[in-house]
Amino acid sequence: MAGTLRLRTTVDVRATQQDLQAIADGLDRPITDVLAKGAEDIADLSRGFMRKRDGSWPTSSAFRDFPGQIADYYDSKSNKMSANIGSRHPAAPVWEWGGDIHPASGSAKHAAIRGFRHGDPRRAQIEAGHQVIHIPRLQPVGHAGDALEDDLAQKLEDAVGRLIQEYGF
């Protein structure tokens, strides 16, 4: 006759949980520091990969609102276990991924143009008569990340190794 055996047990993990919480209060700091420094380094290197030009097109809002080079606007942010590299300059995503800009079209018309995919006849109708400039995919942040990836991975591995050694995990 087949039967079922059921066991019920209770384990008190409060003491272990308190020990882990005490360790965790500062445990993420070395990793957070590596991520923050790595993101700063990638943002700095991104500036070097971004091509230099005499600012934005004179007819664009970026010319008025973001003087200087696009590279001047790369920055980094980090929190406990992540970091990102970004830019406040509106042209930065276009230079990263490529695309078309319409510097004289105004924000409402530009939003309407972006609402249609390339090849859609409605997009061509809206674009007609407006300046369209194709921006190639330059990927300054992508190239900087690729260039520093191994170094950042090694620094993260070292930080985790030090934590393991210090806390005996």
- Degrees (nearest 5) of the Cα angle 66, 71, 76? 100
- How far is the C-alpha of 47 from the C-alpha of 33, rounded, in Å? 22
Report which listed range, 23-37, 104-118, 139-153, is most confident.
139-153
Residue 5: pLDDT over 60: no
Q: Indicate the pLDDT class of residue 28, thresholds 50, 70 and 90.
A: confident
Q: What pLDDT is stored for residue 158 in this prediction? A: 92
| pLDDT the model gives residue 133 | 78
More confident residue, 122 or 35: 35
Tokens read off for 143? 């190239």
pLDDT over threshold 80, residue 4: no
Sign of CA dihedral 21, 83, 42, 143: positive
76 forms beta bridges with 85
pLDDT digits (tens, 9 = 90+) for 96-141: 999 877 776 666 666 677 677 767 777 777 777 777 778 889 999 9
Task: Check: CB of residue 75 under 8 Å from CB of residue 66.
Answer: no
* Mean of pLDDT values over 154-168: 85
Q: Which pLDDT tens digit goes with each residue over 40-94?
A: 999 999 998 887 765 556 666 666 677 778 888 899 998 878 889 988 887 788 8
C-alpha 55: how far from its chain's center? 23
Strand duo 82-87 + 133-135: pairing = unpaired
CA distance 88 to 69: 12
pLDDT tens digits, 10-20: 556 676 666 66
Q: Mean pLDDT throughout 132-161?
A: 90
